[in-house]
Amino acid sequence: MGQLLQLKESSTSIQAPPLCCCLVCESDQIQEFLNLGNTPLANRFLEPGRVGEPEPEFPLRAGFCERCHHVQLLDRVPPGAMFDHYLYVSSASETLTKHLHGLASTVAKRRKLRSRDLVVDIGSNDGTLLSGFARHGVRTLGVDPAANLAPLAQANGIETLTAFFGEQAGGRIRREYGPAAVITATNSFPHIPDLGDYLAGVERLLAPDGVLVIEAHYLMDILEQRAFDTIYHEHVSYWALGPARRLLQRHGLEVVDVERLPVHHGQLRMWIQRAGAPVKASVEKLESEEKGRRMDQLETYQRFAAGTRLIKRDLRRLLDKIRYEDKTIAAYGAPAKGMTLLSYLELGPETIDFIADRSPLKQGRYTPGSHIPIVPPERILQEQPDFLLLLAWNFADEVMKQQREYHKKGGRFIVPVPEVRIV
């Protein structure tokens, strides 16, 4: 089925195992339901001097396992090619920062954390979540494979280990720091190709009464919102509660509570402990809701794919019409998901003049494959394009509030998902 795709320019020797079978249950009965074509890596933003050089592209296809119902990618890119150098910074979004600090307070309160307790964040990025925990006076340690992010975290006073988390890293942290009262993984769990090694690391590191808190984009929300652009190479898994529970149980872990959260475009927060801890009613309730929505049926995903093709058709038509009328279009936000949309719709600088993004790490660079320049948000009021396509549509409210002046001067927003609309 899938295969290991070699990246010529890969600067690391870490490679994912070939995808012969399901990431969760190892069955080979995975059915493809959506093909987004060959796309470049979503976070591989180009420096000006590198535009025009050959760029690696990889097939982007999603599939559904008929045995355990896990939704996953069918093709694999070596993780080192994606995570060595990472341009997405948690603190760039106010909404996300607020959310992560809220999570830290909730966990600290619920677990009654004390100063000697250790909190380890996997995929700690620039340390935004851990800086929330640090306010509660606990010991913190970040783990992230992106070498460029550790200095940012350390500048915030967050000690960070540059590594992929797995059995080895989990064992090392346990030896050097002791067991973790809390392990958090916000938005890194969908990235993990070798779930067995990852959870072996959790088993090594987690204190007997410790808690693992995972937040991941939730498959039910992806389906409801037609968020096809959540699909890109970094996200090898699209989690529902059912397959996650079955996977965790094999590692002696149990989902003891679940919550649905409105951040991003909808997230699932799972509270996980070693087997034997009491399980709240929320868990059975949500799993039966998943069944009610037929998330264990291939047809559900085929319908989602049809909706995705509809967005492509409608948005393409709208943008072509605007350009035909000699009006201008820029975009707001250069999140990784936006690269899926640009690439699937084959949009480039002939349609979109520029993309405004607040992250200084992205400004001055070009989008992978489509080569649209990324500029600071000030350019929007300077140029006042007729339309602003919201690639970060999950933060639409935040962006529209920031860009009130643009709207007042006659500018219009295009929200692409779940259906194309002009605001």
Q: How far apart are the first and last CA of the chain?
A: 42
Q: Nearest approach, Cβ of 66 to Zn ion (angstroms)? A: 8
Interaction between residue 24 and Zn ion (CB under 5 A): yes
Q: Nearest approach, Cβ of 123 to Zn ion (angstroms)? A: 23
The DSSP secondary-structure symbol of 171 reads: H
Judged by beta carbon, residue 67 or residue 136, the one nearer Zn ion is: 67
Judged by beta carbon, residue 30 or residue 113, the one nearer Zn ion is: 30
Q: Nearest approach, Cβ of 194 to Zn ion (angstroms)? A: 15
Q: Is the separation of the CB atoms in 314 and 205 below 8 Å?
A: no
CA distance 87 to 97: 16
Stretch that binds Zn ion, among 60-68, 83-91, 292-300, 356-364 (CB under 5 A): 60-68
Q: Nearest approach, Cβ of 227 to Zn ion (angstroms)? A: 22
Stretch that binds Zn ion, among 69-77, 106-114, 149-157, 330-338 (CB under 5 A): 69-77
Judged by beta carbon, residue 22 or residue 392, the one nearer Zn ion is: 22
Stretch that binds Zn ion, among 18-26, 166-174, 263-271, 386-394 (CB under 5 A): 18-26
Judged by beta carbon, residue 64 or residue 164, the one nearer Zn ion is: 64
CA distance 317 to 356: 23
Stretch that binds Zn ion, among 24-32, 227-235, 336-344, 357-365 (CB under 5 A): 24-32
Interaction between residue 74 and Zn ion (CB under 5 A): no
- Exposure string of 208-240, with b = 16+ CB inside 10 Å and e = fewer, is eebbbbbbbbbbbbbbebbbbbbbbbbbbbbbb
Q: Nearest approach, Cβ of 19 to Zn ion (angstroms)? A: 12
Phi then psi dihedrals of residue 269, to 5 deg: -105, 120
CA distance 33 to 75: 13
CA distance 399 to 419: 18
Among 16, 22, 77, 195, binds Zn ion (CB under 5 A): 22
Phi then psi dihedrals of residue 100, to 5 deg: -65, -40
CA distance 118 to 129: 14
Q: Nearest approach, Cβ of 183 to Zn ion (angstroms)? A: 24
Judged by beta carbon, residue 196 or residue 377, the one nearer Zn ion is: 196
Q: Is the separation of the CB atoms in 125 and 154 below 8 Å?
A: no
Q: Are strands 387-390 and 329-332 parallel, antiparallel or unpaired?
A: parallel
Spacing of C-alpha 382 from chain mean position: 32
Phi then psi dihedrals of residue 160, to 5 deg: -140, 135
Judged by beta carbon, residue 123 or residue 242, the one nearer Zn ion is: 242
Judged by beta carbon, residue 68 or residue 82, the one nearer Zn ion is: 68
Judged by beta carbon, residue 160 or residue 237, the one nearer Zn ion is: 237
* Strand, coil or helix: 392: coil
Q: What are the residues whose beta carbons fall under 8 Å from the beta carbon of 191, sequence distance 6 or more? A: 79, 83, 123, 234, 235, 236
Stretch that binds Zn ion, among 25-33, 147-155, 185-193, 268-276 (CB under 5 A): 25-33
Neighbour tally for 246: CB within 10 Å: 14
Interaction between residue 65 and Zn ion (CB under 5 A): yes
Stretch that binds Zn ion, among 68-76, 126-134, 220-228, 268-276 (CB under 5 A): 68-76
Interaction between residue 68 and Zn ion (CB under 5 A): yes
H or E segment to which residue 148 belongs: none
Interaction between residue 25 and Zn ion (CB under 5 A): yes
Interaction between residue 100 and Zn ion (CB under 5 A): no
Judged by beta carbon, residue 66 or residue 386, the one nearer Zn ion is: 66
Judged by beta carbon, residue 238 or residue 344, the one nearer Zn ion is: 238
- Size of residue set near Zn ion by CB under 5 A: 8
Judged by beta carbon, residue 68 or residue 182, the one nearer Zn ion is: 68
57-65: strand order across its sheet = 30-40, 57-65, 71-73, 237-238
Task: Tell how many helices (H) and how many strands (E) occur in the chain.
Answer: 14, 17
Q: Nearest approach, Cβ of 300 to Zn ion (angstroms)? A: 16
The DSSP secondary-structure symbol of 415 reads: E
Read off the tokens for 13: 């020797």
Interaction between residue 286 and Zn ion (CB under 5 A): no
Among 3, 14, 18, 27, binds Zn ion (CB under 5 A): 27
Stretch that binds Zn ion, among 27-35, 78-86, 366-374, 379-387 (CB under 5 A): 27-35
Interaction between residue 105 and Zn ion (CB under 5 A): no
Q: Is the separation of the CB atoms in 281 and 259 below 8 Å?
A: no
Interaction between residue 244 and Zn ion (CB under 5 A): no
Q: Nearest approach, Cβ of 182 to Zn ion (angstroms)? A: 29
Phi then psi dihedrals of residue 292, to 5 deg: -60, -30
- Residues that bind Zn ion in the complex, under the rule CB under 5 A: 22, 24-25, 27, 65, 67-68, 70
